């Protein structure tokens, strides 16, 4: 139902993006199963998420340089804001690639940009050939390494505004159950000797705050380095080949993704799953724009979502059955056992109060399944042993 009606409706989410997201989740599930069975090479299990993220970011960032319309508008605007790159430089790059302007021919395309940055417009005239890096990053002059550090630092500071609320919310969600457990434990039997409930609660709060600060700093450093490497890759290539064609932005896009190595392995898998649907969407847009005769097939995204649902739903049904079994009342002792009956009958007939529990058990995983599919929450369905599979852990 979710797999088909969601993409058909598509009022608050792009149906194509939703279908791609479902397909990626299904692929993740298949890889998780293969990982648990030991069917994947050790190198992929170790570094799979890193490689997938780098490939996805290369596609996304290259599209941002040359075809921002291939990305969701809000996503492209967010990249604009975090990159802090003057849009006139992007316009010049795009027109150089399309051939509208060329080196060796006079063009005032960067004249206003130079005047705004107090630079000599003659240095940015394409008639002179290669534009020096002092024009590209005027804050740092000719030093591309200094620009890398400057961009990374400013990007990390901007990222703090994004990541502190995210990690703080996650910290609160994890902290509240601990505090409630302390409140219920009136006798303090579960606490170490000589430790009061107030002291234990204070220690839990301090630990959570330290974790939020650490995770926020790590994630901000990741995004800052991502931005700095994107700039540095462009500068490194354009200086080596004296060209501003596609190779520079491609290398910048490729290098940026390796910043994910700053994140822990679990986080790498989450980021990979977040970026892959957008990368696939951008890649398909690029292939259609390349004049290869490709075109959209009506309702193909519905078929993709249905196929993904066929992979995901059976596992969720098993998960529902496990939770339903966990809520069943204990069977009577053998001495007082009733005549044999099937499990479902005993669960419903032994105590009429069990029926609401069973209905709740069936509903709770379904709600989580919908949230997992739509929002990409990191919680994955648990296998029979109770361990969630994570195929992309590198």
Q: In sequence order, what DSSP letters do the residues of 308-357 get, joined into one string?
A: HHHHHHHHHHHHHHHHHHHHSPPPPPGGGPPSP--HHHHHHHS-TTHHHH
Q: Which of 72, 98, 4 is nearest to 285 (CA)?
A: 72
Q: In whole angstroms, what is the distance from residue 392 CA to residue 31 CA? A: 8
Confidence bin at 263 (pLDDT 50/70/90): very high
Q: In whole angstroms, what is the distance from residue 3 CA to residue 191 CA? A: 47
Burial class (CB in 10 A: 0-12, 13-18, 19+), 85: buried
Cα separations in angstroms, 331 against 96, 324, 344, 356, 360: 76, 14, 12, 18, 20
Residue 128 DSSP label: G
Burial class (CB in 10 A: 0-12, 13-18, 19+), 204: middle
Cα separations in angstroms, 70 against 254, 285, 327: 18, 6, 48
Of 277 and 367, the structure prediction assigns the larger pLDDT to 277
Q: What is the pLDDT of residues 348-386, one digit of tens each?
A: 344 444 444 444 444 455 555 555 554 444 444 333 333
Provide the pLDDT for residue 335: 47
Provide the pLDDT for residue 226: 97
Contact call for residues 354 and 328 (beta carbons, < 8 A): yes
Of 299 and 340, the structure prediction assigns the larger pLDDT to 299
Residue partners of 109: CB distance under 8 A and separation at least 6: 88, 91, 92, 95, 101, 126
Q: In whole angstroms, what is the distance from residue 381 CA to residue 180 CA? A: 26
Q: What's the mean pLDDT in 46-54? A: 89
Of 23 and 14, the structure prediction assigns the larger pLDDT to 23
Q: Structural domain boundaries of the chain?
A: 15-186+196-306
Of 48 and 12, the structure prediction assigns the larger pLDDT to 48
Provide the pLDDT for residue 161: 92
Range scoring the smallest mean pLDDT among 7-16, 38-47, 244-253: 7-16
Contact call for residues 187 and 196 (beta carbons, < 8 A): no
Q: In whole angstroms, what is the distance from residue 225 CA to residue 228 CA? A: 5
Q: What's the mean pLDDT in 15-19? A: 71
Of 76 and 3, the structure prediction assigns the larger pLDDT to 76
Provide the pLDDT for residue 157: 95
Residues in the chain: 394
Beta strands in the chain (DSSP E): none
Provide the pLDDT for residue 386: 35
């Amino acid at each position: 139902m979710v797999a088909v009606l969601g993409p058909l409706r598509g009022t608050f989410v792009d149906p194509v993006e939703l279908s791609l997201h479902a397909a990626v989740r299904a692929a993740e599930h298949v890889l998780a199963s293969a990982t648990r069975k030991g069917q994947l090479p050790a190198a992929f299990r170790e570094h799979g998420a890193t490689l997938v993220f780098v490939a996805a970011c290369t596609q996304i960032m290259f599209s941002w340089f040359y075809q921002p319309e291939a990305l969701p508008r809000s996503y492209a605007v967010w990249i604009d804001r975090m990159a802090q790159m003057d849009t006139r430089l992007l316009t010049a790059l795009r027109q150089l690639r399309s051939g509208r302007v060329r080196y060796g021919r006079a063009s005032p395309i960067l004249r206003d940009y130079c005047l705004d940055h107090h630079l000599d417009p003659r240095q940015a005239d394409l008639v002179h050939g290669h534009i020096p890096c002092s024009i590209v990053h005027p804050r740092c002059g000719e030093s591309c390494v200094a620009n890398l550090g400057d961009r990374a630092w400013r990007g990390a500071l901007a990222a703090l505004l994004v990541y502190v609320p995210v990690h703080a919310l996650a910290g609160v969600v994890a902290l509240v159950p601990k505090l409630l457990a302390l409140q219920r434990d009136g006798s303090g039997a579960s606490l170490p000797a000589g430790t009061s409930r107030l002291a234990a609660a204070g220690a839990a709060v301090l630990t959570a705050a330290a974790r939020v600060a650490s995770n926020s700093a790590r994630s901000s450093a990741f995004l800052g380095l991502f931005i700095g490497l994107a700039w540095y890759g462009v500068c490194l290539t354009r200086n080596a080949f004296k060209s501003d064609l596609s190779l520079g932005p491609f290398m910048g896009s490729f290098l940026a993704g390796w910043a994910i190595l700053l994140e822990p392995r679990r986080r790498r898998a989450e980021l990979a799953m977040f970026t892959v649907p957008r990368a696939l969407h951008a890649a398909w847009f690029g292939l259609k724009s390349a004049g290869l005769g490709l075109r959209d097939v009506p309702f193909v995204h519905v078929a993709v979502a249905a196929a993904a649902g066929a992979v995901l739903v059976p596992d969720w049904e098993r998960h529902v059955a496990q939770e339903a079994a966990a809520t069943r009342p204990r069977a009577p002792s053998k001495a007082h056992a009733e005549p044999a009956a099937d499990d479902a009958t005993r669960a419903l007939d032994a105590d009429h109060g069990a029926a609401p529990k069973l209905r709740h058990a069936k509903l709770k995983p379904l709600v989580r399944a919908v949230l997992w599919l739509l929002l990409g929450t990191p919680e994955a369905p648990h296998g029979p042993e109770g361990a969630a599979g994570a195929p992309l852990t590198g």
